[in-house]
């Protein structure tokens, strides 16, 4: 399937906002492969996740469909898709952490407990999410760059185009954001 073009996706978004229900369905068909690729990229960076790329893509698209269609264009749509993907991963990690601490878990004996340990990455993912939210309060663009690169799978060229900044600015902001996040995660 060919990647949907900027004009095509932007036109479908505009038609959907104008009340064309068929445009919504066509938009989702056109962007599904891209949203699944975003989910797969996120999974490569978060190997402890227990969801598949397909599960994540479906949940992200459901969240996108439930949101108001206020996307300006293709770039904005895929940025929101990256945010939805991140939130799906974080919500799944929170559910696993809640289950780990009791929740509705069934009781098992201690000898069998080591066989059902939850992935170590859940707590780390939730810490990263909290740190990204904190960074977004002081420097929204840097937080957005981290999100687009690590959860959206965009290249620095794509991020620069999406945010209308130079690639040098993306590189610089990404370095500074990584340093900030490293410090925040160590404390």
pLDDT tens digits, 66-117: 766 577 777 777 788 888 888 888 888 777 776 555 544 444 333 333 333 3
What are the structural domain ranges in the chain?
A: 6-186
The contacts of residue 165 (CB under 8 Å, 6+ apart) are 141, 173
- Number of Cα atoms under 13 Å in the Cβ half of residue 157: 0
- Count CA within 13 A, CB hemisphere, residue 23: 14
Q: What is the dihedral of CA 164, 167, 173, 176, to 10 degrees?
A: 180
pTM over 0.85: no
Cα(3)–Cα(67) distance, rounded to whole angstroms? 23
User: What tens digit of pLDDT does each residue of 16-74 get?
Assistant: 888 888 888 888 888 888 888 878 877 777 655 677 888 888 888 888 877 665 777 77
């Amino acid at each position: 399937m060919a990647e949907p073009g900027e004009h095509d996706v932007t036109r479908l978004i505009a038609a959907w906002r104008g009340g064309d229900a068929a445009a919504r369905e066509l938009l989702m068909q056109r962007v599904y492969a891209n949203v699944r690729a975003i989910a797969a990229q996120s999974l490569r960076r978060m190997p402890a996740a227990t969801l598949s790329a397909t599960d994540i893509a479906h949940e992200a698209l459901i969240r996108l469909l439930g949101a108001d269609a206020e996307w300006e264009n293709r770039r904005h749509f895929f940025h929101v898709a990256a945010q939805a993907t991140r939130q799906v991963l974080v919500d799944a990690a929170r559910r696993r952490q809640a289950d780990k601490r009791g929740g509705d878990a069934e009781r098992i004996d201690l000898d069998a407990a080591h066989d059902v340990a939850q992935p170590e990455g859940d707590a780390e993912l939730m810490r990263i999410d909290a740190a990204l939210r904190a960074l977004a309060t002081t420097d929204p663009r840097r937080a957005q760059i981290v999100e687009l690169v690590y959860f959206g799978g965009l290249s620095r060229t794509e991020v620069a185009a999406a945010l209308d900044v130079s690639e040098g600015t993306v590189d610089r902001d990404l370095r500074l954001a990584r340093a900030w996040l490293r410090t925040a995660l160590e404390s």
